[in-house]
Copies of this chain bind each other. A is one copy, B any other.
Amino acid sequence: MTNSDLAAVVAAVRERIDPDEEERRALAEAAAELESRVHDALAELPVEADVLQVGSTARGTWLSGDRDIDLFVRFPDDLDREQLAEYGLEVGHAVLPDGHEEYAEHPYVKGDYDGFDVDLVPCYDVPTASDIRSAVDRTPFHNEYLVERLDDDLAADVRVFKRFLKGIGAYGSDLRTEGFSGYLAELLVLEHDGFEPLLQAATDWHPQVEFDPEDHGTRTFSDPLVVIDPTDPERNVAAVCSAANVARLQHYARDLLADPREDLFFQAGPPALDAEAIRSHLDRRGTTPAAVVFDAPDLVDDQLYPQLRKSLDGIADELDRRGFDVFRTELFAADDDAVLFVELSVAERPAVERHVGPPVHVRQHAEGFYGAYENGNGYYGPFLDGDRYVVEREREFTSATKFLTSDALFDVALGKHVESTLREDGYDVLVGDEVATLAATFGAELGRYFDPRP
C-alpha cells in the first residue's frame, strides 16, 4: 500500500533536506583533499596504514547542512596503544594544523576544514568486527556493511527517517536523548526496505521488538527495541533507546500515516515561558514545585545526564517514601546550571506518622516492639490494628522543603559528581512560586514541561 498524500509530504521534506549537487560536490572535494593530506602524512611514518571516510557523509545519508566529515586512519593491529595514539595525533595535526585534541577511546584530532567539522580518528585494522580492540574499530565495518546495501533510494529514505526522528525529538543515542542513533535509523530503513514500510511496521510493534538482519544474534536483551548489530552478534544497536522513544516513534508513525503533514518533520516545540506564565500554570495546577538548583558538575553530557537522572529519581523516590507525593519530575541542565525539578501533590505532612509493628502472635518480635514503645511519651499507642501493634510516632520531616535542605538528602543515592558538587559547592532549594525565577535560564524547558506532548 502506498499513501500518495504521504508521498507528497515526503517529496516536500526531501526538497528541504536533500543535499544539492553543489553541496555534494563541495563535500566530496573536501573529503578527497583531506584523504590526500592523510596519505601524505602517513608517508612520513614508519608504518603501513590507510584512510577511510565513514559516517553519514560517506554513505549519502546526511541531511543538507550537516557539515561532519569523519576520517578513520586504520593502523596495523600489532601496534601497541601508545604508538597508535602517537601516530594518530601526528597524522591529525599534520592534516588539521589548527585542530585540537579530543578523547574517546583514544585521543584524536578534531578541526575545521573549509567549513566542515572534521574528526580524524585512529583505529586498528582488524580482520573482522569480532576482533576489535576498541569500540571505534567497529565503525569501518558498519560503514562497509551499509555502503554495500544502501542504494540511492534507501539513502534518501534514511534521510527522511532521520529528519522524522529529529522532528519528533527521538533522534540521538546520547544519554540525554536516549533515542535512535543514525546507524540504528539506517539499519531500520534497510531492514524494512524503506521509510513508509518501516512506519507501517512500527504502528503495530509490540515491544520487545527484535530485528537481527544477519540472523546471528547470540544474546538476549531486555531493551524494548533490539536490533542485533550485523557486524557483531553480541551487540544491540538500540540498547540506549528508551521505551518512551520507541513509543514516541509508534505514536508519530500512526499520526503521520493517518494525517500526512510536513510539520511533523520540523516540529518547533512549545514556546518558552516567562516567570509570569510559569506562576500562572502553578496557580492553575495547585501543586507545589520544588527545585534543587546547583552548578552542573563539569562532565560531558553522556556522564552528566545519567548522574542527574539517578539523583532526581533518588530524591523523588525518597520524597514519595516520606509521604510527599510526587506528581511529575524533570531535570534541566544548560551551560553550567543544573536543576532537579520535583512537582509535588503533597508538600506538607502531619507531625505524626503511623508505624506498623509485627503481629502479636509473632511473640519475640511483638514483645520487642511493644517493649520499645511501652511507657514512652513521644507517641500514641502501641494499640492494635487487627492482629498487629501500631504506634503513631513523630514524623522526621513535616515538609518536603525541610527534607531537601537537610543532611538527609545525602542518604539518597545521588550521582557521584552530583553528590560531591552539592556537598562542596552547596545548592539552592526553590519552592512554590520561587521556581518561576528559573524562566531566565530554562524558559524553553519549562515551556515543554507545561505543554507536554508525546
CB atoms of B207 and A387 under 8 A apart: yes
User: Of B203, B247, B387, which one neighbours A244 at CB under 8 angstroms?
Assistant: B387
Take A244-B387, A361-B247 as given contacts and tell me if A286 and B205 are in contact as well, using a CB distance cutoff of 8 Å: no
Q: Name which of A16-24, A118-126, A248-256, A409-417 contacts chain B.
A: A248-256
Q: Mark A236-267, 1 if CB is under 8 A from B, else 0.
A: 00000011101110110010000000000000
CB atoms of B360 and A251 under 8 A apart: yes
Q: In the complex the two chains form, what is the Cα distance from A354 to B320 in whole Å? A: 15
Q: Is A328 an interface residue (CB 8 A)?
A: yes
CB atoms of B251 and A351 under 8 A apart: no
Q: Name which of A5-13, A144-152, A375-383 contacts chain B.
A: A375-383
CB atoms of B452 and A398 under 8 A apart: no
- CB-CB < 8 A to A384: which residues of B? 244, 247-248, 251, 454
CB atoms of A380 and B452 under 8 A apart: yes
Q: Is A133 an interface residue (CB 8 A)?
A: no
Minimum CB–CB distance from A67 to chain B (whole Å) comes to 32
User: Of B205, B354, B398, B454, which one neighbours A382 at CB under 8 angstroms?
Assistant: B454
Q: Mark A371-401, 1 if CB is under 8 A from B, else 0.
A: 0000000001111111111001000001000
Minimum CB–CB distance from A65 to chain B (whole Å) comes to 29
Q: Is A115 an interface residue (CB 8 A)?
A: no
Q: In the complex the two chains form, what is the Cα distance from A382 to B247 in whole Å? A: 13
Minimum CB–CB distance from A280 to chain B (whole Å) comes to 13
CB atoms of B452 and A383 under 8 A apart: yes
CB atoms of A350 and B286 under 8 A apart: yes
- Size bin of chain A's contact surface: 35 or more
CB atoms of A352 and B286 under 8 A apart: yes
- CB-CB < 8 A to A242: which residues of B? 386
- CB-CB < 8 A to A352: which residues of B? 284-287, 327
CB atoms of B286 and A206 under 8 A apart: no
- CB-CB < 8 A to A367: which residues of B? 254
Q: Is A345 an interface residue (CB 8 A)?
A: yes
- CB-CB < 8 A to A207: which residues of B? 361, 387
Q: In the complex the two chains form, what is the Cα distance from A360 to B225 in whole Å? A: 14
User: Of B287, B359, B380, B388, which one neighbours A350 at CB under 8 angstroms?
Assistant: B287
CB atoms of A360 and B328 under 8 A apart: no
- CB-CB < 8 A to A451: which residues of B? 380
Q: In the complex the two chains form, what is the Cα distance from A381 to B327 in whole Å? A: 14
User: Of B288, B328, B370, B382, which one neighbours A392 at CB under 8 angstroms?
Assistant: B328
Take A450-B380, A452-B380 as given contacts and tell me if A386 and B244 are in contact as well, using a CB distance cutoff of 8 Å: yes
Q: Is A453 an interface residue (CB 8 A)?
A: yes
CB atoms of A386 and B351 under 8 A apart: no
Q: In chain B, what residue has the closest Cβ to A203?
A: B363
Q: In chain B, what residue has the closest Cβ to A395?
A: B286
Q: In the complex the two chains form, what is the Cα distance from A452 to B383 in whole Å? A: 6
Q: In chain B, what residue has the closest Cβ to A398?
A: B286
Take A206-B361, A345-B350 as given contacts and tell me if A387 and B224 are in contact as well, using a CB distance cutoff of 8 Å: yes
Q: Is A365 an interface residue (CB 8 A)?
A: no
Take A286-B398, A323-B345, A363-B203 as given contacts and tell me if A387 and B350 are in contact as well, using a CB distance cutoff of 8 Å: no
Question: Top 4 A-B pairs ranked by shortest CB distance?
Answer: A383-B452, A286-B350, A286-B351, A247-B360
A interface residues with partner B (beta carbon < 8 Å) = 203-207, 224, 242-244, 246-248, 250-251, 254, 284-288, 323, 325, 327-328, 345-346, 349-352, 354, 359-361, 363, 367, 370, 380-389, 392, 398, 450-454
